[in-house]
Structure 1
């Protein structure tokens, strides 16, 4: 029998999902039958989701603020009536500079969004999933969580942390039939990649096209990754098709590692 990708009747929360990878994941889960609640710091994009999607509810939330994150979660669960799926998608690029010149404020904000928000939402989700008889959590890390990069210390550190958090949660929550996995995207086409390219080009005083070429040359396919590629992996992992997957890292990077 072919494993089902249907999410009919399931309830999902996706963080930082008013645009980019998160939005495509949220839309993919909704198309598979799930009821979805998302949050984002961008008020205009949150309003756009609420206008366009009947099966997706969106709320403004600053994921760097643990209290705000908990308020969003409580309201989302109340609307959904519970939670079966959590996609920890939140992540910011953070500063691109040497560690010695970086402010502690910039370091702390990057870790607050990229790592602590994942912990807070997983911590809140676990008891509710346990009561429901199980669930699935997917943390979105990065290939930067598998290596080091100069001038990206808070981003890399947070993405390594996301993997360690997921690995530990998988061991803790497995007995309760809660599966936890990690997706590590490579260079994903979109606004965030364009901002990173622009900042890198400025720091190195070279042309943006040269920076882009350097990024893409790492892939054996010579391409980046699309948000749909990440969403497809997320759907697999939270559906019955991935019901025996837990504690694993799935790299989606067009063979750039």
Structure 2
């Protein structure tokens, strides 16, 4: 029939859909597990309601929702400020020229995680250091590239193991000060200096290690493990919020879930 026209779907349209899908997927991964995910879902629902009112010619509702969607961009910038900062950091820290492989350096499509053995070895090391009151600060890289921090410490390329982690944070070791960064089953750097959060209220018995862990997990999507030198407790920090785990099996499962 003449009223129906063939859907002209070209290469550019296909590329447009793919890029939007990749962008939405990364946004979802960035805010997954945070309060922002509920806000994001709410915005999507409002958008479809707006389009529905437009389709049904409900002019008054369409005008109200349309005005909200147009002005709401300012509110979105405020609400999603931490996520936007992490996104821009990811884009800015992507090394396009490094290694000559553009796609392998883009964190949209790369999913680098520690394998099960690494996570278990990591938690075992933290548990052992906790029993001996050995302080430690471990940062696990996820999507946001942390190479901008490497210059503050000593770059390394050491496979993760319980013995290695314990030897690095041994009190007489020259490498025990600062944090270590782990990515793709490898210790990328030791003695790293992290940005310290001085605004958030945390218990008095938590010191600079915990503030540094909060700072880096607020500014990036990294995960952090802190072993308290005073109490031996293991703290797990994600998105600036920390939890105390006494059950190592539960901690292992939590890290594995967050790394996937």
Shorter-chain TM-score: which interval? Answer: under 0.3
The alignment's TM-score, normalised by the length of structure 1, stands at 0.25
Larger relative contact order (CA 8 Å, sep ≥ 6): 1
